[in-house]
Amino acid sequence: MNETYPFSLEPLPYDYDALEPVISAETLQFHHDKHLATYVEKLNKALEPYKELHSMTLEQLLTEPLTVPDSVKTEIKNNGGGVYNHQLYFRCMKPAEDSTPPTGPLKTMIDTAFGSFDTFVRDLTNAALTQFGSGYGWLVEHDGMLEIKKMPNQDVPLGKNITPLLPVDVWEHAYYLQYQNRRMDYVNNWFCLINWDYVEQLLENTKGAVK
């Protein structure tokens, strides 16, 4: 995510109805065109007066707090996090008929970290379901190992030696139009939409990154 100010609304990598029946076209359109668009708009508005921040990428804005004035830190954390998390969430999905289980090094790392793919699914599901209120369940790479985390609101698990790989969005706007209060049904169904090729690409990118 190397874009700098002014940030743009990144188009979905698929049609609105591509994730049906797991995620309805109405839910996806509302989520992307309203919620993500609002985060982008608010982030740009917050950054506009701070020309010294205009050359920073979204990741730099979220991970280099000493360069960000105190007066705008909260807005960047909330709205910048909303942009980062949503872009990754949408990129990490694909139509169910095109989604295939992870293979190769990623599958090996999942088995090493969690014992099996089924255990990974159980642990990420538990993180998503036990995140109180709004937030995300996360698969991250940390010091060469895979870990599960849960984060509130639009917090991002970015930092020294840690890379976000896969988020499951459990804000109500991600599922409520379709599932109402049935977060468990949404999360259980969501696993068939994962774009494991993209997750593997993110993991591969960490090998050449200086941390």
Q: Which of 28-37, 116-125, 155-164 has the lowest mean pLDDT?
A: 155-164
Among the listed residues 134, 7, 149, the one whose alpha carbon sits nearest the alpha carbon of residue 79: 7
Query: For position 49, what pLDDT does the model report?
Result: 97
**Amino acid letter, 135:** G
Instruction: Read off the pLDDT of each residue in 29-44 and give the average, rounded to a whole number.
Output: 98
pLDDT digits (tens, 9 = 90+) for 67-108: 999 999 999 999 999 999 999 999 999 999 999 999 999 999
pLDDT score of 31 more than 80: yes
**Contact between 114 and 37 (Cβ < 8 Å):** no
For residue 121, pLDDT over 60 is answered with: yes
Query: Whole-prediction pTM value?
Result: 0.96
Question: What integer pLDDT is reported at residue 210 of this predicted model?
Answer: 41
Task: State CA 142 to chain mean position distance.
Answer: 16
Give me the helix-helix angle, 104-114 and 117-130, nearest 10°. Answer: 70
The whole-number average pLDDT for the span 145-165 is 95
What is the structure's pLDDT at 208? 53
Q: What is the mean pLDDT of residues 115-128?
A: 98
Per 3-state DSSP, the chain is made up of helix, strand and coil in percentages (nearest 5) of: 55, 15, 30
Average pLDDT over all residues of the chain: 95
Q: What is residue 211's predicted lDDT score, i.e. its pLDDT?
A: 40
State the pLDDT confidence band at 65, using cuts at 50, 70 and 90. confident
